Amino acid sequence: MIEADFPSVFHDADEIAVRGQRQTLRLSKVRLVSAVIAAVGGALSWKVGMLDLWALVALVGFLAALFAEIMLWTQRPERDWTAGRAIAEDTKSLAWRYSVGGNPFPMTMPVTEARKLFQRRINEVVARDGAGLSFRNASELATPRMTALRGKPLEERRKAYLADRIGDQQRWYSLSAEKHRVRANRLRALLVVGELVAIVLAAGRGFGRWDVDISGVMAAIVAGGAAWLGLRQYEKLRLTYSIAANGLAVLGDRLVDVPEEEWAIAVTDAEESFKRENAAWLASQPSAA
């Protein structure tokens, strides 16, 4: 079973989260880059008549930074990012529990009753985290593919869960951990280079090699890079995803021979591990504004 088989509320929430993330990062970039541009304009001077062109560059930088700040403050896209992701992940977890017979939808529960309970749980998730968000169809019942998988024997449900839930999530964690490691190292290397350049420029001015003071510009660049590093949480997420990937490998081994009478609880334990990881991610997200 793949994400295309999940209810539409999952796709709506995922779309909201992706849109909120893109807007948050885009506006944050504008704010940081504009601050650097303003610092450059403030450090230099080029007069043409009564106008100082570099002062106008600084003005544009400050205006752009102000615009980004106001947009982040009024639209709060990071709130859509985190709320949409929370709903999408909770919906995915409920969909898998229903589809393979995990609690609170054990195989002893009639399918009609399980579908109604699934719908109530989805409504609770949307009511809890979906204030201010728009969903095309938050009242859709379990999809036919989900119900079809629920009707399969244990071994087929187990195979689907291990491959499409545990295995797929483990691969995502592993790839994300590596991606964050590379990005963290790359950005830290750039920060070190920026700090070295700032030291050279400050030393050159201190010993009379040149009169232009752009150490403030370099300080703004380094500070902007550090702020971006803090916003993206590369190192922390790398560690979190690495631990989660290793934990899923162990969890998958445990599920291989779980009998039917213990299956509902075993799936619940697995889904609770996903829930804890998602809660840790939500708690780690800093406010963009």
Task: Tell me the pLDDT of the chain (289 aa) as tens digits.
Answer: 888 899 999 999 999 999 999 999 999 989 888 888 888 888 777 888 888 888 998 899 899 999 999 999 999 999 999 999 999 999 999 999 999 999 999 999 999 999 999 999 999 999 998 888 888 765 567 899 999 999 999 999 999 999 999 999 889 889 988 998 898 888 888 888 877 887 887 787 777 776 666 667 777 787 788 788 777 788 888 888 888 888 888 888 889 999 999 999 999 988 988 888 888 777 766 554 4
Radius of gyration of the chain (CA): 25
Q: Is 142 left (phi over 0), alpha (psi -120 to 50) or beta?
A: beta
The C-alpha atoms of residue 120 and residue 124 are separated, in whole angstroms, by 6
Angle between helices 77-100 and 8-43 (to 10 degrees): 150
- CA–CA–CA angle 274, 75, 71 (5° rounding): 120
* Max Cα-Cα span within the chain: 86
The pLDDT assigned to 229 comes to 77
Token couple for 81: 């990012």
The pLDDT assigned to 139 comes to 59
The pLDDT assigned to 289 comes to 42
How distant, in Å, are the alpha carbons of 3, 80, 110, 215 from that of 221?
A: 41, 29, 61, 10
* Amino acid occupying residue 265: I
Which is nearest to 146 in space by CA: 121, 118, 187, 172? 118
The pLDDT assigned to 173 comes to 87
pTM more than 0.85: no
Token couple for 165: 């839930």
- The residue extents of the domains of the chain are 3-284
The pLDDT assigned to 211 comes to 65
* Amino acid occupying residue 102: G
The pLDDT assigned to 285 comes to 67
| Residue 184, phi then psi, degrees to nearest 5 | -65, -45
Which is nearest to 231 in space by CA: 81, 97, 92, 131? 81
Which is nearest to 3 in space by CA: 82, 92, 89, 81? 92
Which is nearest to 247 in space by CA: 267, 268, 274? 274
